[in-house]
Structure 1
């Protein structure tokens, strides 16, 4: 990552992150005075470490402690052990902890999606679900991740998510690719003129070789057309999304911070 670009506040980040609490969003400082501490080339590693610690350790410490205590109570009582494991397969426990590996149901996906600017009978919506239905299992997971930051659904499917999903119509040029507001489960795109154009745009955002860090899209020896899209896609994201999107790739930022890839 280019140090000069970071020091020019290109990331627009401070030492805070947003959490959801009882249906409302609140900002939590990663360290004392974090609201006024700008991420730069010297402290970016500290920012990533603090973000990971708060997101994946501190934020769930109480829940994990209660789970561990409850599981310990079960394991310490032979009667509870028998009743617990008799009705639970190993796959069930894996689903509860990791999420379902089953094929994503497009019908379930569609049933839990609402539209703003579009209506369900619009030809673009019909094209969209037809394209999604033709996607491979991995492409569907990548699209869901791009849309929501979730790659594995809970056991209940889309009904187990905290919110319904939304598709928003934008007034942008047809050349622009879809953008997402992952905090609000929103996918945004213009009214593409043909199914071929829409399929091409969705194909690009479901390619695994398009990567991000700190909400800044980077090129990985991609053709010029993809580099142009990366630049456009970054501009399509609101500041809110730039601040939160970095959580998607927090585990990869350490490597990318020192990589030779160019910032677009």
Structure 2
């Protein structure tokens, strides 16, 4: 279970502590490729996928449980292996997959943790927080060295000399301690800073420095993030003020799905 908790404790597990329902967006922290498949399903016509049913096969179950023993197919709802997923029911399918992968399949482990946690801290005391705020409450506001972060950032579509990138770092350097923590949460999924500094920042597959990619499309769109790749998709804004406005809005308001609609 080690790999699961390493990534999912950053968002879905804080939701479990608060009793908040997980969504398919949270799957990105566990399996980015699977998340992309689900996202593709929601954005495209799946009428040509006749073999997709409301069930998960044994191989998927083993991946979820991180065990090598044989398991049977799992039905996402009664009779699910005989119910085809259609264009009309695909949202239900995605919701059920998220609930199973992030909750049902690991329910005994979740319950064991929550039993101990709730003996120490009543849910009533933390119910006023969202999952991001709860992480900051439990972990505290980190000391973030912006110079170190900048030195360990890589660019795609931009360079370190790009005007937008210069604006970006000027804006980030002006952040309060709380907004810096929110920014780090937004891009990496956690406010924690590696003990060795940002050169040791981890992604889902190992060491992964902060990535800033040029986002194409409407210039007024919000920045978005791929947390398990520590990747920020940053549009080419027309002014520093616009960049600051869009980035602040993203880190404060677009936490659900980390900027994905």
TM-score (norm. length: structure 1): 0.49
Which structure: larger Rg?
Answer: 1
TM-score (norm. length: structure 2): 0.50
